[in-house]
């Protein structure tokens, strides 16, 4: 009996064994004489320490085309490969909080092994339409500009759009800090295409602000193979899904940067020899993006709210990748370089930003104040060309009032960040949404028409402006 079991085991291993027949950089072709592995199955290369291949295509002659998750240096033809008969699985659970892992769930922070008792596959079907529950609760971030113009909907998707150096990552880090300190929210951070410096800075910032123990970090770095970066969001989503299903609470999933995910997909498409679409990106871009976005939802078990930083190449919002991402988002936050140059942080353009929330969710006071503020800011923008040519002195009295209030609003929406205290020596501020609406309402009503707009720069609630005025008087 024992001998029969041993024979069966050997036969099963033989059935799952293939050999490498071609190596083209990150692409490896493997021949399986008996059974072909399924698409997305993980293959383990023998005689090579921790080298995983992922099946991407079935070829003729009983061959599969795979992408290597790690460098293929040292591989040679004929090396045996074992089909694991399953997709890549990663550890999940509270053991990952406070740790930095790679796409395999392996620690890369030099803090010892992760002894998680459970593992979950990174490839699963998204919840069915019947399982998805619409959310109507707002998650407060404590950041005035965001809570007022583009509030976060629990279970929704929020995108931070902007070019290099306008503050996307800083804003993401601040939201992690505020939601953790104020609401005790657990977060998962996916660094897609992170540079080593950026990953180190993030770790240090979260550690110094005492929120690291509530965040699981998954990094797929720029120096790694495209397959690693391409699968990093799936690893992060798998970890977030576990927290959602087990804790029943809202989980925040941060992806920085989702554009790098599309970029990694384009690299993979190129090395696989696929013909790109007429826009230059891979023809499968929308389906690859949908595979990720459709798993970020609220169910009866809990909710995953996603905050995604999106790099805008050359500040060109008409880029096909940027347009593809737009269609999946509930709220759009546009960070503008011109506003950043004025030292207004966050450098958010309120007129270019948008949210799908209506009066029923926001409440009457917030909705009415928001519409009035947008009206004032739009009028100010339309007058800027006239002001640049003729000066404010040529405006009518009513327009002078509008310009004055718009300037005060712009300065009021600047705010000192907790995660930037070491650079600014200015203590961070958390402002409730009600206080923000109240402050905007007071400015619009003319209560501070006689006050210099600099009084409203880098403050928290409107009461701080009143304190400044008392000190000046």
Q: So which residues are the catalytic ones?
A: 168, 194-195
Instruction: State how far Cα 240 lies from the chain centre.
Output: 13
Q: Are 433 and 417 in contact (CB under 8 A)?
A: no
Question: What is the 8-class DSSP label of residue 119?
Answer: E
Q: Are 26 and 225 in contact (CB under 8 A)?
A: yes
Which CA distances in Å does 135 have to 154, 337, 338, 456?
6, 33, 35, 34
Helix ranges restricted to H, 351-453:
359-362, 364-390, 397-412, 421-424, 433-444
Q: How far is residue 333's CA from residue 355's CA, in Å, rounded to a whole number?
A: 9
Q: How far is residue 351's CA from residue 448's CA, in Å, rounded to a whole number?
A: 23
The DSSP H or E segment spanning 142 is none
Q: Is 17 helix (H, G, I), strand (E, B) or coil?
A: strand
The DSSP H or E segment spanning 101 is strand 100-101
Q: How far is residue 400's CA from residue 394's CA, in Å, rounded to a whole number?
A: 9
Q: Are 168 and 315 in contact (CB under 8 A)?
A: no
DSSP letters spanning 245-309: HHH-SEEEEEEETHHHHHHHHHHHHHHTTPPP-TTSS-TTHHHHHHHHHTTS-EETTEEEEEEEE
Cis amide leading into 346 (omega within 30): yes
Both tokens of 338, joined, read: 């011109």
Both tokens of 55, joined, read: 């099946």
- Non-local (6+) Cβ contacts of 428 within 8 A are 174, 416, 417, 418, 419, 420, 421
Q: How far is residue 392's CA from residue 399's CA, in Å, rounded to a whole number?
A: 9
Closest CA to 186 of 205, 214, 152: 214
């Amino acid at each position: 009996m024992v001998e029969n079991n041993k024979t069966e085991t050997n036969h099963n291993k033989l059935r799952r064994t293939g050999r490498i027949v071609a190596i083209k950089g990150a692409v490896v072709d493997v021949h399986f004489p008996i059974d072909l592995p399924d698409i997305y199955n993980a293959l383990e290369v023998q005689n090579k320490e921790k080298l995983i291949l992922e099946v991407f295509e079935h070829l003729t002659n009983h061959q599969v085309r795979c992408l290597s998750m790690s460098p293929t240096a040292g591989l040679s033809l004929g090396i045996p490969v074992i089909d694991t008969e399953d997709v890549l699985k990663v550890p999940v659970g509270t053991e990952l909080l406070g740790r930095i892992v790679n796409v395999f769930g392996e620690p890369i922070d030099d803090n010892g092994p992760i002894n998680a008792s459970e593992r979950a596959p990174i490839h699963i079907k998204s919840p069915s339409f019947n399982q998805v529950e619409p959310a109507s609760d707002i998650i407060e971030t404590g950041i005035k500009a965001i809570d007022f113009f583009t509030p976060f909907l629990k279970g929704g998707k929020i995108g931070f759009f902007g070019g290099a150096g306008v503050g996307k990552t800083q804003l993401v880090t601040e939201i992690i800090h505020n939601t953790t300190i104020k609401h005790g929210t657990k977060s998962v951070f996916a660094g897609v295409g992170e540079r080593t410096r950026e990953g180190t800075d993030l770790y240090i910032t979260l550690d110094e602000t005492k929120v690291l123990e509530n965040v699981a970090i998954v990094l797929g770095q720029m120096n790694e193979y495209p397959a690693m970066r391409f699968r990093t969001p799936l690893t992060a989503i798998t970890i977030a899904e576990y927290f959602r299903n087990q804790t029943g609470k809202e989980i925040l999933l941060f992806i920085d940067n989702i554009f790098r995910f599309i970029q990694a997909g384009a690299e993979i498409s190129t090395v696989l020899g696929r013909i790109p679409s007429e826009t230059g990106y891979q023809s499968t871009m929308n389906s690859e993006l949908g595979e990720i976005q459709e798993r970020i939802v609220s169910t009866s078990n809990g909710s995953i709210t996603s905050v995604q930083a999106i790099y805008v190449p050359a500040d060109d919002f008409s880029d096909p990748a940027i347009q593809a991402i737009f269609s999946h988002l509930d709220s759009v936050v546009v960070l503008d370089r011109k506003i950043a140059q004025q030292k207004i942080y966050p450098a958010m353009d309120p007129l270019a930003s948008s949210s799908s929330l209506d009066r029923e969710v926001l409440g009457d006071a917030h909705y009415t104040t928001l519409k009035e503020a947008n009206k004032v800011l739009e009028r100010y923008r339309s007058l800027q060309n006239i002001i640049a040519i003729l000066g404010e002195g040529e405006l009518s009295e009513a327009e002078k009032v509008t310009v004055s209030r718009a300037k005060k609003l712009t300065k009021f929406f600047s705010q000192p960040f907790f995660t930037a205290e070491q650079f600014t020596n200015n203590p961070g501020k958390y402002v409730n949404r009600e206080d923000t609406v109240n402050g905007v309402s007071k400015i619009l009503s003319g209560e501070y028409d006689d006050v210099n707009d600099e009084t409203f720069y880098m403050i928290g609630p409107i009461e701080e402006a009143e304190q400044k005025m008392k000190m000046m008087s």
